[in-house]
Structure 1
């Protein structure tokens, strides 16, 4: 085998190797993206009751992007529908806790009632405010069924602040931050209900 043939063979092998590497990477990237999408869907949608939607809510984002509210920031939102009728809204909210920012997912049905609240990210004190990340979470479950007007505005506070909610033991600041963020989200939903839900909701 002469030098020219050897170089040509090496170039060919290198080209084949690059092609195979690209193909494997492209195929793997698509598979990884699909798997990540499934994980995201499971994490974000498990608060919605089974059978309450038949669309892909993550494919129906709301025009909500870094909207500053009184005590929190809305990072994004999604619309769940059933038979092309809005059934719920999912809002991603960020607030400041005791030692970290806390990212919440807040699910609200078409009538403005909370379906649930879930912690997506946090770095609060382990064993205290960090318990906000537990799932299922008994303290966060206290909000299920509440709405913008139930309780009234003054009730959306800790009992020690003359409100209606207990705090997580040893986590006053974290508890207060979450309550305020949920209240913010409910107010924002109420202000945009007609735009998002229209007249399909029934009181």
Structure 2
């Protein structure tokens, strides 16, 4: 086999290899995308009561990217509906913890009450602030049912700061940041209720 023939064979094999890779990618891309979406749904929707929505909230993103609030940044959000009516809003928020940014998911019902919250990402100290990511999380569950007016603004703080909430043991900075982030999100919801829900909310 001469040099020209060898180069031709190698070029043909390279083309066949690239084509095969392309077709395999095309064939598997939808399944990979579906799996990624299912993972995102499990991560973001597991604290939203299943009976409270019948849409695909991830298909209804809200235009909130990087809205700067008093103590946090809103990274994005989603709207949940049931029977065509808005039932809840999911807000992704970033606060500054002891070890760095903490990304939170904060879920608020259409009537302004907190349905739940959880940490999506953090860099807090293991055994201390890192407990914010534990599931179930008794400390975070203590905020369920609270709203902007319950307690009032002065109550949204640690007891050591004259507020109404206990802290996670040994994690003052983390606890304070999370409380401020939840309070920020409830205030933002109250001020932008029409925009977030898309229609007037009913109790």
- Which whole-Å deviations, capped at 9, do the CAs of 1:122-169 have from their partners, x for residues lacking one? 011110011001111110111101001011111101111111100000
Match of 1:103?
A: 103
Match of 2:175?
A: 175
Match of 2:32?
A: 32
1:15 partnered with 2:15: yes
Match of 1:72?
A: 72
- Paired with 1:62 and 1:114, the residues of 2 have a C-alpha distance of 18
- Paired with 1:22 and 1:33, the residues of 2 have a C-alpha distance of 16
Q: Could you tell me the TM-score, scaled by structure 2's length?
A: 0.93
Deviation at 1:170, TM superposition (A): 0.4
Give the aligned length.
202
- Which whole-Å deviations, capped at 9, do the CAs of 1:30-71 have from their partners, x for residues lacking one? 322221111010000011111211111111011101011111
Deviation at 1:5, TM superposition (A): 5.8
Partner-residue secondary structure (3-state), 1:166: coil
Partner-residue secondary structure (3-state), 2:15: helix
Task: Give the CA RMSD over aligned residues.
Answer: 1.6
Match of 1:131?
A: 131
- Paired with 2:5 and 2:99, the residues of 1 have a C-alpha distance of 66
Match of 1:91?
A: 91
- Paired with 1:166 and 1:49, the residues of 2 have a C-alpha distance of 26
Match of 2:154?
A: 154
- Paired with 2:136 and 2:50, the residues of 1 have a C-alpha distance of 16
Q: Could you tell me the TM-score, scaled by structure 1's length?
A: 0.93
- Which whole-Å deviations, capped at 9, do the CAs of 1:14-40 have from their partners, x for residues lacking one? 322211111112333332222111101
- Paired with 2:176 and 2:55, the residues of 1 have a C-alpha distance of 34
- Paired with 1:100 and 1:29, the residues of 2 have a C-alpha distance of 34
- Paired with 1:155 and 1:76, the residues of 2 have a C-alpha distance of 26
- Paired with 1:37 and 1:169, the residues of 2 have a C-alpha distance of 36
Q: Decide which moves more: 124-133 or 26-35.
A: 26-35
- Paired with 1:162 and 1:174, the residues of 2 have a C-alpha distance of 17
Partner-residue secondary structure (3-state), 2:192: helix
